[in-house]
Chains A and B, each alone.
Chain A
Amino acid sequence: MKRTSGSWKGWRRVKRESRLDPTFADEIAAMAGSDKLRECIQCGTCSAVCPLSAYMDYTPRRLIAMTRAGLKDDVLSSLSIWVCASCYACTVECPKQIPVTDVMHALKRTAVREGMHPKRFAVPVLAREFVRDVDRFGRNTESRLAMKLYLKTRPILLLKDARLGQRLMRRGRMSLRRESVRQRAQLRAMLRAVEEVEGAS
């Protein structure tokens, strides 16, 4: 096999019917709180207004087509859903009123639940660490979160950004003091109540 161009991505694999998951689209539509996913006309408006589609492996339009077709594995392991910045431009402009951003959130949740998210990619790591902090303390401490993110994904950047950190600290914009609510037990009890209901259903 000879590499011919920079965009070479290997042989396109033929998708077999047996690998499709026919219930996938319904599952995602239900999670996103809208069955409009089925009504997508593949016009590409979402991909056109997306400020980040150039950095995605599949554009939003393709992701919707793939979700509808049931290409579950390809969709859940794609980087696109983690590149999405949740800016809602697609949701606002979609001529069929598909809540594309909510679809992206539903895909993120499903990918995390099924353990198919990219493991060292920073966005899912950030989401997980963020949730862990908020669950324990009720607030997030930006500086600590950033620190964890650096260490777990790209430690080398920590050195590059050290000067920025210093400048912010001198201006009182960064402190490692832990932020927390007083009633941490109350917050935990609320979150536990939801877990119990969801565990029972």
Chain B
Amino acid sequence: MSYAYYPGCSLKGSSKAYEESLLAVFETLGVGLAELDDWNCCGATAYAAVDETKAHVLTARNLALAEAATPGPAPVELVAPCAGCYMALLRAQRHLKENRAVGERVHGALEAVGLRYEGRVRVRHPLDVLVNDVGLERIGDAVTRPLGGLKVACYYGCLLVRPYAPFDDQRNPTSMDRLMRTIGAEPIEWPLKTRCCGGSCCGGPLVGTIREAGLRLIYVLLKDAKRRGADVLATVCPLCQFNLECFQERVSREFADPVDLNVGFFTQILGLALGLDERSLGLQRMLRWQLPEPRPVLATAPGGTYARA
């Protein structure tokens, strides 16, 4: 199995740990990721707020580059780990197909520089690839260090499931919960799993733009995850991770209520279960990372009842 890989700007900047852990996990599971040569920014939601057609042109260049790198009639699987990029790529594909005027302009712009996009690209999120292509069984077999009932708040955020939800339920996604259970963690019941973190505001941290509103959104999520007993919050998006991790001190001060929670990428937690070391998962880059000792877990019999020793 091999995939084209579109990192996006954040994975080269504030979310290096996401890229490091993603590459390490995929390598361990024997899945190839080939970075797209000379990829450009996806435009996020901020570019669309200024010029939508040009935003699609930016995205279409990446799609065309992915096709050029994989010739032939076979579909190209393009992995985009950032939820913002993921949605921007899906949106551009959708608009190119459905809106003829936009499609003509975008294809015209590609032709002007000798590029071509036929529509062979399938945009995938790593969570989708792990759960649906690699499969939970294979991941379960690769686990060397089960997580001993680590309580994980599986946070999907907004753009992974909205407005499109190609691989999971839109209102109650469960892919990550199932993945976490497979590796010995215990996902908490969490109705807020798709609530906006405030970080995706037009491509920039809302906390930097409308700070009062952003801090409240962060507070609601962290507080509720803690109340439900989470040891760690797992994200699928660099903006969510940054937003929920880096402003904890300020949130604590603002609401006079200490909230401190480990916030990491789902690939980092998966990597721990696969026995990867902290450095290769980029854990030294986190502002806070103190997991509890693994709890002893009762063995369960196949029927779901506790087995007797």
CB distance from B8 to the nearest CB of A (A): 9
Are B46 and A126 within 8 A (Cβ)?
yes
Bound together, the chains give a CA A55 to CA B211 distance in angstroms of 11
* A197 beta carbon closer than 8 Å to chain B: yes
Query: Quick one: given A168-B246, A194-B53, A198-B53, are A130 and B204 in contact (CB under 8 Å)?
Result: yes
Instruction: Indicate which residue in A31, A130, A149, A167 contacts B287 across the interface (CB closer than 8 Å).
Output: A167
Bound together, the chains give a CA A66 to CA B266 distance in angstroms of 42
Query: Quick one: given A164-B246, A193-B109, A194-B54, are A88 and B158 in contact (CB under 8 Å)?
Result: yes
Which of B112, B171, B195 has the most CB atoms of chain A within a 10 A radius of its CB? Answer: B112
Are B41 and A140 within 8 A (Cβ)?
yes
* A99 beta carbon closer than 8 Å to chain B: yes
In the complex formed, the residue of A with least CB distance to B112 is A193
* A52 beta carbon closer than 8 Å to chain B: yes
**Surface stretch bound by B, among A1-9, A12-20, A21-29, A179-187:** A179-187
The size bracket of the interface on A is 35 or more
Bound together, the chains give a CA A20 to CA B272 distance in angstroms of 60
* B48 beta carbon closer than 8 Å to chain A: yes
Instruction: Indicate which residue in A99, A164, A168, A194 contacts B57 across the interface (CB closer than 8 Å).
Output: A194
Are A130 and B203 within 8 A (Cβ)?
yes
Instruction: Indicate which residue in B17, B39, B58 contacts A134 across the interface (CB closer than 8 Å).
Output: B58
Q: Which residues of B contact A172 (CB under 8 A)?
A: 16, 285
Bound together, the chains give a CA A54 to CA B213 distance in angstroms of 9
Are A190 and B105 within 8 A (Cβ)?
no
* B159 beta carbon closer than 8 Å to chain A: yes
Are B109 and A194 within 8 A (Cβ)?
yes
Query: Quick one: given A172-B285, A179-B9, are A126 and B204 in contact (CB under 8 Å)?
Result: yes
Are B109 and A190 within 8 A (Cβ)?
yes
Query: Quick one: given A55-B212, A91-B162, A171-B287, are A187 and B40 in contact (CB under 8 Å)?
Result: yes
In the complex formed, the residue of B with least CB distance to A131 is B50
Q: Which residues of B contact A82 (CB under 8 A)?
A: 202, 210
Q: List A residues at the B interface (Cβ < 8 Å).
A: 31, 33, 51-52, 54-55, 82-89, 91-92, 99, 101, 105, 108-109, 112, 121-123, 126-128, 130-131, 134, 138-143, 145-146, 149-150, 153, 157, 164, 167-168, 171-175, 179, 181-183, 186-187, 189-191, 193-194, 197-198
Q: List B residues at the A interface (Cβ < 8 Å).
A: 9-10, 12-17, 38-41, 43-54, 57-58, 61, 95, 98-99, 105-106, 108-110, 112-113, 115, 158-159, 162-163, 170-171, 195-196, 198, 200-206, 208-213, 217, 246, 284-287
Could you pull out 28 A-B pairs where Cβ atoms are within 8 angstroms? A33-B98, A51-B196, A83-B213, A84-B201, A86-B158, A86-B201, A87-B162, A91-B162, A105-B49, A112-B50, A123-B201, A126-B202, A126-B203, A126-B208, A126-B209, A130-B46, A140-B41, A143-B13, A145-B204, A171-B285, A173-B285, A174-B14, A179-B12, A189-B113, A194-B53, A194-B105, A194-B106, A197-B105
| Given contact pairs A127-B50, A173-B17, a sample of 14 additional A-B residue pairs in the complex whose CB atoms are under 8 Å apart | A83-B210, A85-B206, A87-B200, A88-B162, A105-B52, A109-B51, A123-B201, A142-B10, A149-B204, A171-B284, A187-B40, A189-B112, A193-B113, A194-B105
